[in-house]
């Protein structure tokens, strides 16, 4: 594709992009900024894609990967998410896309097969997913990438969930912080950074750390007009809170309505799913502690409509793309506005009206404070301070009974929003009008 761009007409490249979108990915149109981001990375320029959950971030690098010579290396933070993405690419597209992943848990037999393919003059693999830990720890992987680059077979680096790069991001990972090394080792290889949620401070920090100061930024409005937002005071005792959750779901939604319930821990996600299931709601749980086979089964049951409600951990960014989710409930408060916006944004991807509700109490906040203060790698005083500050903003959002919740969310990401345009789509604005 690199050679093609220097000799072929731009219109022909655009046609190739449109054909790949239709025949390989099964889409008739592009969403906002997708085509432009794809064109820019195919011109071998650095790109920063800021796209709310459900905006179609993955197409921005998966489509150019198919059209480019060589391999697109995707750095992603969660092994479980990588496994789900690779499975989806290989199996679930109209045409299967050759993809593989390397991690500390990849079977030796599979590693050998991947390695063998990468040594071919023209590898068949188009997308190679790696965890940041693997990239940081494996000198043989870096050597292989250098060899691919010498042969003109290294198309680009993709940094998914790019907010993890900086401690100002809501999910900082120390090994992500080392990814700036890629530009030092491969100055001519384009980088694409992607995230669903990042205030300006985070964007600036990510660009600096990844050494992509001139990256073209593609950003979308953070106002999801079809979503409505509310906060409910959660019962402090777990049995009462579970009964409250069940009562809320059963009185507001019929049995065939699709929803997600976010929970604080893997155990809680299982407990909530079992509680709802025992009372006639078709619920199941989905978290990073499950095997990829189990997660796949839940995904398929959800896609097929056998499961209506998925109970998932807050820490697990789900690789499920289901457009008709009518509600996202947080049974425990999110740790940050960024995290909340990303999780809530899984509702209403089809553009239909959908509800995002938090069950909030101070007890859950205390538990999260405890988690933030737990000693672990990279959890410095500064990092803890950043997380505490983000939690304070989340508390502020939940406890403010007067401000427009939509306005609060949009302004957090540095964009403006007129409260009049909320039109009763948050509980605070409904109360103001009611009174």
For 157-191, write each residue's pLDDT tens digit: 999 989 988 877 667 777 888 899 999 999 999 99
Dihedral sign computed on CA atoms, order 157, 161, 162, 167: negative
Task: Check whether 1 has a pLDDT greater than 70.
Answer: no
| DSSP state string for 253-316 | S-TT--EEEEESSHHHHHHHHHHHHHTT--EEEE-TTS-HHHHHHHHHHHHHTS--EEEEETT-
Whether the Cβ atoms of residue 311 and residue 271 lie closer than 8 Å to each other: no
Residue 217 burial (CB count, 10 A): 14
What's the confidence (pLDDT) of residue 94? 59
With a threshold of 0.85, does the pTM exceed it?
no
Whether the Cβ atoms of residue 79 and residue 319 lie closer than 8 Å to each other: no
Least-confidence region, from 241-245, 274-278, 375-379, 422-426: 375-379
Distance (Å, whole) CA 166 – CA 177: 6
What's the confidence (pLDDT) of residue 402? 94
Task: Check whether 420 has a pLDDT greater than 70.
Answer: yes
**Fold topology of 2-219:** Rossmann fold (3.40.50)
Distance (Å, whole) CA 282 – CA 307: 5
Which pLDDT band, with edges at 50, 70 and 90, does 53 fall under?
Answer: confident
Distance (Å, whole) CA 4 – CA 158: 21
Which pLDDT band, with edges at 50, 70 and 90, does 5 fall under?
Answer: very low
What's the confidence (pLDDT) of residue 421? 95
- The Cα-based distances of 244 to 216, 240, 274, 361, 370 in angstroms read 47, 6, 15, 13, 25
Please provide the average confidence, as pLDDT, over all residues in the chain.
Answer: 90
Contacts of 307 (CB under 8 A, 6+ apart): 282, 283, 284, 298, 301
Whether the Cβ atoms of residue 62 and residue 127 lie closer than 8 Å to each other: yes
What's the confidence (pLDDT) of residue 197? 79
Residue 424 burial (CB count, 10 A): 13
Burial class (CB in 10 A: 0-12, 13-18, 19+), 411: middle
- The tokens for 259 are 């929803």
Distance (Å, whole) CA 260 – CA 102: 30
What's the confidence (pLDDT) of residue 295? 84
Task: Check whether 103 has a pLDDT greater than 90.
Answer: no
227-399 CATH choice from 3.40.350.10, 3.60.40.10, 3.40.50.300, 3.60.15.10: 3.40.50.300
Domain boundaries, the chain: 2-219, 227-399
φ and ψ at residue 217, rounded to 5 degrees:
-100, 130
φ and ψ at residue 317, rounded to 5 degrees:
-75, 110
> 3-state DSSP: the chain helix, strand, coil percent, rounded to 5?
50, 15, 35
Same topology for domains 2-219 and 227-399, yes or no?
yes
């Amino acid at each position: 594709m690199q050679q093609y761009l220097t000799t072929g007409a731009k219109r022909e490249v655009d046609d190739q992009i449109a054909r790949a979108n239709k025949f390989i990915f099964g889409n008739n149109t592009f969403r906002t900024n997708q085509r432009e981001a794809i064109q820019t990375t195919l011109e071998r320029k650095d790109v920063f894609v800021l796209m709310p959950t459900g905006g179609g971030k993955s197409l921005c690098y998966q489509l150019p990967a198919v059209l480019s010579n060589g391999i697109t290396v995707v750095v992603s933070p969660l092994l479980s998410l990588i496994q789900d993405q690779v499975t989806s690419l290989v199996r679930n597209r109209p045409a299967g896309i050759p993809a593989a992943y390397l991690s500390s848990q990849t079977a030796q037999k599979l590693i050998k097969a991947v390695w063998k393919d990468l040594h071919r003059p023209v590898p068949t693999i188009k997308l190679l997913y790696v965890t940041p830990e693997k990239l940081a720890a494996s000198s043989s992987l870096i050597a292989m990438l250098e060899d691919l680059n010498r042969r003109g077979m290294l198309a680009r680096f993709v940094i998914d969930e790019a907010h993890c790069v900086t401690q100002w991001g809501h999910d900082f990972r120390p090994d992500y912080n080392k990814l700036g090394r890629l530009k030092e080792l491969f100055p001519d290889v384009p980088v694409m950074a992607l995230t669903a949620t990042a205030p300006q401070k985070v964007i600036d920090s990510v660009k600096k750390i990844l050494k992509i100061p001139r990256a073209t930024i593609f950003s979308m409005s953070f106002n999801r007009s079809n979503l409505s937002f509310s906060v409910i005071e959660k019962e402090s005792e777990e049995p009462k809170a579970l009964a409250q959750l069940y009562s809320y779901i059963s009185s507001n939604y019929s049995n065939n309505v699709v929803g997600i319930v976010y929970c604080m821990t893997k155990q809680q996600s299982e407990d909530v799913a079992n509680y709802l299931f025992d009372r006639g709601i078709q619920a199941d749980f989905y978290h990073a502690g499950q095997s990829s086979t189990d997660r796949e089964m839940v995904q398929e049951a959800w896609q097929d409509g056998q499961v209506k409600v998925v109970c998932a951990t807050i820490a697990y960014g789900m690789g499920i793309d289901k457009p008709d989710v009518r509600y996202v409930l947080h049974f425990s408060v999110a740790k940050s506005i960024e995290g909340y916006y990303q999780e809530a944004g899984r509702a209403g991807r089809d553009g239909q009206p959908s509800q995002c509700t938090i069950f909030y109490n101070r007890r859950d906040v205390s538990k999260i404070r405890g988690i933030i203060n737990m000693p672990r790698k990279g959890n410095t005083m500064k990092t803890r301070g950043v997380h505490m500050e983000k939690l304070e903003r989340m508390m502020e959002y939940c406890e403010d009974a007067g401000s427009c919740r939509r306005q609060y969310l949009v302004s957090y990401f540095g964009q403006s929003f007129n409260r009049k345009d909320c039109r009763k789509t948050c509980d605070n604005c409904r109360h103001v009008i009611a009174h």
